[in-house]
Structure 1
Amino acid sequence: MSHVTRPYIPFELRGQELRDAVVRYASNPIYLDNEEWENSDNPYRRQLRPQVLPHLDYDSVPGRAEILDYSSLAVQRLLTSIYEADLVFLPKSGLHEETWQDFKSFYSPSNRVLGEMIRPALEKYAFGFLDDEVEVSGQWTKESFRAYIESLGANEPAGASLTEKAILSSADRERAARMWLIQFAPDFLSEASPMIRNVMGYYGATQSEWFKIIIDEYGYGVHDTKHSRLFERTLESAGLQTDIHRYWQYYLNSSLLMNNYFHYLGKNHELFFRYVGALYYTEATLVDFCRRAANLLTTVFGEEIDATYFTEHAHIDQHHGRMALEKLMIPLIEEHGEQIIPEIVRGIEEYRVIQTVSDEDLAAQIAWMDRGPEFKKLHAPVWEALESGRVTAPVADIVEPKGELSNTHCHDGDELCHIVSGTMKFVSGFDSYQILEAGEGTVIQKNRLHGAIIESDECVYQIHSVGDYQKCLS
């Protein structure tokens, strides 16, 4: 018998093998396209558009400039489903015949194993851009680390974000604010779930300190004070439903990116110290953000809005920020050495990058929703450029029957939708749409989330991939 050990070969999927595994996972019936815009009290249904997935490249990691392209949206949707197979979701109305079957399918060993097989490759694709965006170098000490924390000014008041400005200047402020609240749902309705991944195991006193933060988030076991329940009341008072992933089709790429980032750090314990850094920055900056959020919601909706979720956070997160610094980060550095500081700093800086991406993306989406009529008018000059031959572009001819729903997606370049015959309802966000008749159409901006439904017996239309619509106007 030979005592020579076989060489260790790390597990890795690439190329066609990876693509096939992604498609196999997403072909689960619970992930197929929906016939309605919303999922009604079924937390297991997530539209992954598996028919598109065979055509995507999961090997080449996108840079910052491509992080909002469709492939990234597809990967973020996949990762959300994979991560959440670790969480328990039950319908508010109870498990009935259909949801019982979906429950078993979502939590089945096959679904979980297929998801875990593709997760490492998808995480590299989703978060690899941060390697180029964040570099932590030099020799760090406790003193230099404290100076860095002070320089962040995380506890200081900040000006309004791009998204907040977009809501307050929107042509329909209530619609914009509802779209904003929807983006929080993947995180806030299962609040602290990624965090819980890091209090399992054994690592001493800091573990207990972290658990205190989680206890706060869960309202000390009183359901009515649990933070997710407080957020439900905010949604209800804004005229929105509260069942998990009802608004799946309206989640932006960057909103899923931000939520998934914490699952990514929590799922991969080699990134434990990055989570500690990201946790600190989140808790420290939430105080001012929540004050602004409560004021914004009251300004938009009036006194009928229940902003307790945000006012409560504005109170307790000041305490959480101090706990994360004095009870988690500093004791961990003292116990495990200054070698962990670069990882903590990286977690802070990565989260700051993702915050910026998310803020810019949502502000752009609100502007896109507001400018729906303008982009519909732009159809005429862009169509003239195409029809005259002055501009040429690849075209797809499509025929669809009444009720055909194009589940939400985005494009990697500007496109022109031109209606040949029939009627289409073109949707650019929650409660935001344009009706397009024969001879009409709309410009579809790069990276902007949209979908459509056919309202006539049949609709014949064309999608022209113009790349940059501005070139059609010169």
Structure 2
Amino acid sequence: MNDSWHDLVDLPDPNDPNAVVKAFAANPAFRAAEWSELTCEDNPFRRPVRPDDLGWLDYGVPMRAENALKLSGLLGHRMLRNVYDLDQLLLPPQEDPAVTRDRDAYYSTRSRVLAQLARPVLERHLFTHLEQQRPEPGRPTLDALRARVLEQYDRRSAEPGAAFAAARAARGRREAGTFLLLQYGAFEPAAAAALATAALGEVTLAHPGLRTALLSHHQRWVQDADRYAALLAAAELRPAPAAYWQLSLNSSFARGNHLHHLALDRRRPAAFLGALLFHLLDTAATREPYAQTLQDTLGTRPGYFEELRTVTRQELGELVDTLLAPLCARYGPTVIEQAETGLADAARLAGQWDEDLAAQLTWADSIEQHQRTAERIQQHIDDQGLEIDLDTFVESWEVTSTTHVHDEHRLVVIESGQMHFWNNVTHKIELNAGDKLLIPLSRLHGSTVLSGECTYHQPIIPDAMFRQFS
């Protein structure tokens, strides 16, 4: 390997968190996307991050809870998923020079060193806010924890979430079902990988049955591989790692990354077990909503969810004892306290995912309405002579904007030229001179210039004005 990116010269100052993150994101495999890279089904190492945006984002401080769905969260979770996946063997369907270059850069010694420096920076930035949102701890007993787990199961079963309802209510049902599957594929394989990671190690002296219990649940995922591939095929998708990277929501990355984060935190193994209990109860509670929603949107009853082996309510209660009783006997109530934090944080991230996905589906299904709203907002600005902050871009043919979110509401106003705008794999939206579109904050999207040159503006819409017209 003679690529300069494979050596260890010019490493960043490890005490400068932003320098560390920028250096890791400079990996050529993470470069901004090109026009042909909306999906990368044949290259598991190609993972666009938008590294240029890191110049104005601060990863040296914890992210506040209200900013979790903003740009630093999206780019942070993209980079953190890359950190975790470095320890997995990723095999492309075939070799070609581009794949080989990205593979060598991705797995390089420099990449691995920078990943270890970046990991604690990213984890602190992305997950610290969860500490401030946990419920008051109860009595640290197995019985109390079991009651919380079953309460979460009952709640999830009764109220599976707004995202399923939003997908079923969409006019573009196939588009909505496809996007729902994209998000499932962004966190479910990652959860399985985290489970396998947690099962590694020597734990038999403290908990003889733990490794067997963890591996048995991972084995279910392995055995379901063919049905999972068939599930994706119903939406013309493939089970290729990072194939739909650009269309994975921030909140979808977060769910998988949280499990990885806890699986690798060897100081608090019970926190992972608490998060795993939530993942298992969530899988059981949402199996039928997934099946029904995908039948309604894709027109076929998915065999994957029909045959998915999940825990029953009784088995879930018994699993609390199987996973945690031996650890409690050895280490005391600290084990329960750790498990409760893992359970509460995983539940919080799942709720955020549901809200985020429902909002994304609703916005994507109403683009024409948001175009009309954009016209009304722009007319209001013009009529009132309002001074609005805006960014202006002049881009040439095939210049592509890697998918991203904005930290505020924005309009896209095309002055001249033409672009394609996208928020799904199913279709692209054509915007021409004079067209306008409203993009609410935290809505995932990207674009590609189609004309020789395209000039467009992005007025930043104050929240009060957004609420007035929306």
Q: Same fold (TM over 0.5)?
A: yes
Is 1:385 the equivalent of 2:380?
A: yes
Q: 1:107 to 1:251 in 2, by over 3 A?
A: same
Any idea what the Cα deviations from partners look like across 1:309-357, whole Å, max 9, x if unmatched? 2223354576863563131122222232122211111111111101100
Gaps of 5+ in 2: 1-12
**Any conservation in 1 of the 2:262–2:268 contact (CA below 8 Å)?**
yes
Q: 1:350 to 1:473 in 2, by over 3 A?
A: closer
Any idea what the Cα deviations from partners look like across 1:81-134, whole Å, max 9, x if unmatched? 111001111112x23332223222211111011011011011011111101111
**Any conservation in 1 of the 2:191–2:259 contact (CA below 8 Å)?**
no
Return the offset for 1:41. Answer: 0.9
Letter in 1 for 2:226: R
Match of 2:26 in 1: 27
**Any conservation in 1 of the 2:401–2:446 contact (CA below 8 Å)?**
yes
**Any conservation in 1 of the 2:274–2:343 contact (CA below 8 Å)?**
yes
Q: Per the alignment, in what secondary structure is the counterpart of residue 129 of structure 1? A: helix
Any idea what the Cα deviations from partners look like across 1:416-460, whole Å, max 9, x if unmatched? 111111112222333254322111211111110011111222111
With 380-389 and 275-284 compared, the bigger mean Cα shift is at: 380-389
**Any conservation in 1 of the 2:153–2:281 contact (CA below 8 Å)?**
no
Is 1:112 the equivalent of 2:108?
A: no
The count of residues paired between Structure 1 and Structure 2 equals: 454
Q: Per the alignment, in what secondary structure is the counterpart of residue 417 of structure 1? A: strand
What is the alpha-carbon distance in structure 2 between the residues aligned to residue 140 and residue 115 of structure 1? 36
Match of 1:231 in 2: 228
Q: 1:338 to 1:192 in 2, by over 3 A?
A: same
Is 1:403 the equivalent of 2:398?
A: yes
Equivalent pairs: percent with the same residue?
25
Return the offset for 1:239. Answer: 1.6
Match of 1:429 in 2: 424
With 205-214 and 321-330 compared, the bigger mean Cα shift is at: 205-214
Return the offset for 1:135. Answer: 4.3
Q: Paired residue for 2:272, among 275, 278, 293?
A: 275
Q: 1:436 to 1:120 in 2, by over 3 A?
A: same
What is the alpha-carbon distance in structure 1 between the residues aligned to residue 261 and residue 87 of structure 2? 13
Q: 1:164 to 1:18 in 2, by over 3 A?
A: same
Q: Per the alignment, in what secondary structure is the counterpart of residue 299 of structure 2? A: helix
What is the alpha-carbon distance in structure 1 between the residues aligned to residue 75 and residue 190 of structure 2? 21
Q: 1:208 to 1:100 in 2, by over 3 A?
A: farther
Q: Paired residue for 1:330, among 319, 325, 329?
A: 325
Letter in 1 for 2:31: L
Q: Per the alignment, in what secondary structure is the counterpart of residue 308 of structure 2? A: helix
Q: 1:372 to 1:398 in 2, by over 3 A?
A: same
**Any conservation in 2 of the 1:136–1:342 contact (CA below 8 Å)?**
no
Letter in 2 for 1:56: L
Any idea what the Cα deviations from partners look like across 1:277-321, whole Å, max 9, x if unmatched? 111122123222112212222232233x5x232223354576863
What is the alpha-carbon distance in structure 1 between the residues aligned to residue 156 and residue 397 of structure 2? 54
Match of 1:8 in 2: none
**TM-score, length basis structure 2:** 0.90
What is the alpha-carbon distance in structure 1 between the residues aligned to residue 200 and residue 60 of structure 2? 32
**Any conservation in 2 of the 1:191–1:217 contact (CA below 8 Å)?**
no
Return the offset for 1:189. Answer: 3.8
Q: 1:363 to 1:38 in 2, by over 3 A?
A: same
With 319-328 and 346-355 compared, the bigger mean Cα shift is at: 319-328
Q: Per the alignment, in what secondary structure is the counterpart of residue 105 of structure 1? A: helix
With 132-141 and 43-52 compared, the bigger mean Cα shift is at: 132-141
Match of 1:470 in 2: 466
**Any conservation in 2 of the 1:419–1:440 contact (CA below 8 Å)?**
yes
Is 1:350 the equivalent of 2:345?
A: yes
Return the offset for 1:388. Answer: 4.0
Task: Note the aligned Cα RMSD (angstroms).
Answer: 2.4
Match of 2:283 in 1: 286
Is 1:211 the equivalent of 2:209?
A: no
Q: Paired residue for 1:448, among 421, 437, 443?
A: 443
What is the alpha-carbon distance in structure 2 between the residues aligned to residue 219 and residue 141 of structure 1? 30
Q: 1:156 to 1:376 in 2, by over 3 A?
A: closer
**Any conservation in 1 of the 2:182–2:244 contact (CA below 8 Å)?**
yes
Match of 1:4 in 2: none
Q: 1:132 to 1:435 in 2, by over 3 A?
A: same
Q: Per the alignment, in what secondary structure is the counterpart of residue 436 of structure 1? A: strand
Q: Per the alignment, in what secondary structure is the counterpart of residue 51 of structure 2? A: coil
**Any conservation in 1 of the 2:409–2:466 contact (CA below 8 Å)?**
no
